[in-house]
Amino acid sequence: MSTLTDRYVFAALRSIPEGQRGDIERELRGSITDDVEARVEGGQAPADAETAVLAELGDPARLAAQYSGRPLYLIGPDLFLDWWRLLKTLAIIITPFSFVGSVVVRMALEPGDPAGAFGAAISTAINVLVHLGFWVTLVFAIIQFNGTRRKDLGLQPWSPAMLPQVPRKSQVSLGDTITTVVFIAFFIGLLLWQRIGSMLYLNGEPVLVLQESLWSFWLPYVIILLVIEAGFTVVLYLAGRWTYAFAVVNTVLALAFMVPVLWLLATEQVYDWAFLANVDWAPDASAWIAGITAALVLFISLWDIGDGFLKAWKSSRPAPVPAGVR
């Protein structure tokens, strides 16, 4: 298991350019070791000494900024990191949903222009990011201008207990999280688009692909399930690593999607096969379309379940001892 020192060094180095990390790691570890040994010689327990030394060093992100000569000046050094963490969290949560909302509204107004709807949605998402950056920064700037400190806002002071775990291959990255949430938002947009327009156009005319009766329950059910899945993805990113509890939740969500969809496909309640009359396809086209869909749903769901447990297993294994640790 990683020590507090390992976790502190990792947190400090991850925002420092690769070429500078070697020297800084040696210097930082040496300084921490010397200070801890001095406290132990003074009669303090090793664990307490390590915690006290790291607490004195303070937030590793702030220390990294000092090492790399990167001043935290945009808001002010006291509130800069709180501003940055809040801005990232809001961007991950709000931007995808603004994309979906824009698609729904635009398709309701102009159902015959799907390309324009998605173009407008991209523009809306970019505008949301710009406004988030402006308004969150403005609020923090006003707070800073008034001389308010972190302690005045009731924000918890940094402590070694807040250090992240040293990453393993199974941990969730920000890029993976954003990709997953955007994909879910896009899929929700496609389903809502089917409600007011169509996924398929023939000769410039919209063609109904999914059965209209699905909107009485099953499609709203799937959309709600996808929203929950997006929320789960964000929670997983904030937690920082897979656990068996997360793997179980992931399994429940996957089964809640897979089982009803396979049943609907088996009972021919998904596709409106009337559109086949307008295309020159084989007579058994409906059978292989349903079969391919079922195979994809089964494969993706089972892969997702297995992948969750595999990542949880990897996360539960002891981390390799970093270089320089004795």
The per-residue DSSP string of 234-273 comes to HHHHHH-S--HHHHHHHHHHHHHHHHHHHHHHHTT-SB-G
* Pairs from 20-25 (Cβ < 8 Å, separation ≥ 24): 20/67, 20/68, 24/67, 25/324
State whether 95 and 222 are in the same domain.
no
pTM over 0.95: no
* Per-position pLDDT tens, the chain of length 326: 468 888 888 888 877 877 778 888 888 889 999 999 999 998 889 889 989 998 888 888 878 877 776 655 556 666 777 888 888 888 878 887 787 777 677 766 766 565 566 677 778 888 888 888 888 888 887 777 666 666 666 667 767 777 766 655 546 777 788 888 888 887 887 787 776 666 565 565 666 778 888 888 888 899 889 989 988 998 888 887 888 999 999 999 999 999 999 999 999 898 887 766 666 666 677 888 889 999 999 999 999 999 999 988 888 775 544 444 44
Report how far apart, in Å, the C-alpha atoms of 290 and of each of 69, 74, 133 are: 59, 55, 45
Whether the Cβ atoms of residue 221 and residue 261 lie closer than 8 Å to each other: no
Cα–Cα distance measured from residue 56 to residue 160, given in angstroms and rounded to the nearest whole number = 10
- Residue 34: domain span: 4-67
- Look up residue 210 and give its DSSP letter: B
Would 182 be classed as within a structural domain?
yes
Cα–Cα distance measured from residue 271 to residue 208, given in angstroms and rounded to the nearest whole number = 9
pLDDT at 325: 42
Block residue for tokens 């790691």: 25
pLDDT at 148: 66
Q: Would you call 35 exposed, middle or buried from its count of C-beta atoms within 10 A (0-12, 13-18, 19+)?
A: middle
State whether 131 and 215 are in the same domain.
no
State whether 175 and 308 are in the same domain.
yes
Cα–Cα distance measured from residue 179 to residue 19, given in angstroms and rounded to the nearest whole number = 29
Whether the Cβ atoms of residue 171 and residue 177 lie closer than 8 Å to each other: no
Give the number of other CB atoms < 10 A from CB of residue 50: 22
pLDDT at 164: 67
Maximum distance among all alpha carbons in the chain? 87
Would 93 be classed as within a structural domain?
yes
Element (H, E) at 23: helix 18-41
Domain end point (choices 163, 187, 222): 163
Would 85 be classed as within a structural domain?
yes
State whether 124 and 207 are in the same domain.
no
pLDDT at 261: 93
State whether 157 and 170 are in the same domain.
no
State whether 189 and 311 are in the same domain.
yes
Number of domains in the chain: 3
Q: Is the dihedral of CA 134, 139, 145, 148 positive or negative?
A: negative
pLDDT at 324: 43
State whether 177 and 309 are in the same domain.
yes
Cα–Cα distance measured from residue 29 to residue 21, given in angstroms and rounded to the nearest whole number = 12
Cα–Cα distance measured from residue 62 to residue 71, given in angstroms and rounded to the nearest whole number = 9
Would 326 be classed as within a structural domain?
no
Vertex 129 angle, CA 65 and 148, to 5°: 50
pLDDT at 105: 75
State whether 125 and 264 are in the same domain.
no
pLDDT at 326: 41
Question: Phi first, then psi: what are they for 200, rounded to 5°?
Answer: -130, 135
State whether 44 and 77 are in the same domain.
no
Give the number of other CB atoms < 10 A from CB of residue 40: 14
Would 324 be classed as within a structural domain?
no
Domain end point (choices 145, 163, 181): 163
State whether 218 and 314 are in the same domain.
yes
State whether 94 and 173 are in the same domain.
no
Would 309 be classed as within a structural domain?
yes
Would 325 be classed as within a structural domain?
no
pLDDT at 115: 58
Would 142 be classed as within a structural domain?
yes
Whether the Cβ atoms of residue 144 and residue 78 lie closer than 8 Å to each other: yes
Q: Which two tokens stand for residue 74?
A: 């945009």
Q: Which of 47, 49, 44, 50 is nearest to 5 (CA)?
A: 50
Block residue for tokens 């447990």: 309
pLDDT at 166: 67
pLDDT at 197: 63
State whether 57 and 145 are in the same domain.
no
Domain end point (choices 148, 163, 178): 163
